[in-house]
A and B are shown apart, each in its own frame.
Chain A
Amino acid sequence: MSQLAIEIPYWGQSLLRVLGGLVAVLLPAGTIVYLFLFKMMSFMQSRLGPMEAGPYGSLQLVAEVGKWMQKEDLAPEAADHQIFRIAPHIVLLSTFLLVVIVPFGPDAYFTNFSVGIFLGLAVASVSVLGILIAGWASANKYSLLGGLRAAGQLIAYELPMVLAVLGVVIQAGSMNLQEITVVQNTGEIFGFEWLGNPFIITQFVGFLIFMIAVQAELTQAPFDMPIAESELVSGYMTEYSGFRFLIFFIAEFATAGVFAFIASVLFLGGWGIPFSWFGWDDIEQVPDWMNLVGPLIMFTKMLVLTFVIMWVRFSMPRFREDQLQTFAWKVLIPLALLNTAVTAIFKVAF
């Protein structure tokens, strides 16, 4: 552990961690909503998007948040009120728990958990609970249909995600996300030290499977049957309005951002650039300014991956539920198992 220049007491560190967590979740959400949802989607549809609030519509997000927060707190009479109220918060909770494992720099991390990615995958399933109880507690047949579809879909696509990550873990030799970052940036590929060893090159199949599984976990088109706007109005979110819908909305894009963070750590080399550029051999030798530049690099990589997720979302129609399940169970899981097997063989043989 490299020594920090200043000594921060423990309560100060905890405060920094909490603030950092909030920023790490909300800043990507806000950027993704503005840059991709408002602007990129509009440009792909030959229009300009929101332009009135602030220059080029940059304050539209503030206007939206204000609008959602001042709405009436409605709940259907037949709804199960307590569960109805906590459902959105469960979904957002899983995002906050997920960002805890992501490292942003050599010392800029929340926890240096030795089985980080295992915790992350376990915690990612908590949002399924939130969606399911939102669907049931709404006392609305459309929400129920949406919730049931979501449960089936999200559980089905967890498996390919886990198996894709397994390939990375085998290749890196550790479940600690900081270790995975270091291995990618200090490694070499085909004898080339210049590029490091980003796992996207060797784990290309795993990367594709992971991105498809992430698209499904976020219920984005082409996997957005649970929301299915033209059939179920808004699926499990139909009865939510005001602040509660805002939580769902933020959770959707925050989760997209956090999954993109995790994907960039697993496949693109995380907060680092190949260490060989600067002549560092180990994480001990990384200087402190990397703690400031690291988050910026992560942010950029997150934007690139989210661009791809959103680009696919705006261009594709949606799968039917049974086609979705067939795709997961009959195509993605066998492929992911094959990927894991081949990775393991290569790891042992070479």
Chain B
Amino acid sequence: MPDKPKVPGLFKGLGVTLGILKDTVVDGANTVQYPHEKEAPPIRARGVIALHEDNCTACMLCARSCPDWCIYIEGHKQLAPPRRAGGKPRQVNHLDRFDIDYALCMYCGICVEVCPFDALFWSPEYEYSEPKIADLLHDKEKLGEWMETVPEAPALEAGAQKK
């Protein structure tokens, strides 16, 4: 049960604001003056999705599991040279088009999670806003460029079991 404050609450409140004023003057504010200074987001922050094209087999699992249907994939089957001399030519899926529309993307991460071939990765980059909405459709090349910004997965806490 709250009891009556000993110092009249009005004056205590005034003291609190004066204290914060003093702290800001002495220690500096709690804000970061963007764009002059920038805070680094955590490693796992979901900023943008990067595509490792070599791993992608156009299996369409990510496009199917996206809640917004914002991934557009087109591919065709073609014959690749055999692995060993004297073997049959293999049929592989070649990726023609892999677009992610970031105007629709919910940043949920289901596509990154379901990819069986580790072709999609999260990167903490967040400064990619565009004046035109159509430019928010990132194509295969741009998604490949984001791969440079993908960090190493962080070490886990004690007691975690390695997957």
Contacts and interface: CB of A to CB of B under 8 A. Distances in A.
A and B touch in their complex, CB below 8 angstroms: yes
Contacts, number: 40
A46 B13 contact: no
B6 to A, nearest CB: 19
Interface in A11-62: 40, 42-48, 51
Contacts of B30: 46-47
A314 interface: yes
A311 B31 contact: no
Given A43-B24, A44-B20, A46-B24, A316 B31 contact: no
Interface in B5-53: 10, 13-14, 16-18, 20-21, 23-25, 29-31, 33
B62 to A, nearest CB: 41
A314 B17 contact: yes
B31 A315 contact: no
Nearest to A314: B17
A331 interface: no
A312 B14 contact: yes
Contact of B13 (A40, A51, A316): A316
Q: Is the interface of A mostly helix, strand, loop or mixed?
A: helix
A76 to B, nearest CB: 34
Interface string A306-350: 000001101110000000000000000000000000000000000
Contacts of B21: 40, 43-44
Interface in B105-134: none
B17 A47 contact: no
B18 A311 contact: yes
B31 A43 contact: no
A311 B14 contact: yes
B9 to A, nearest CB: 10
Contact of B29 (A40, A47, A311): A47
Contacts of B33: 48, 51
A80 B24 CA distance: 47
Contacts of A312: 14
A45 B10 CA distance: 18
A40 B25 CA distance: 10
Interface of B: 10, 13-14, 16-18, 20-21, 23-25, 29-31, 33
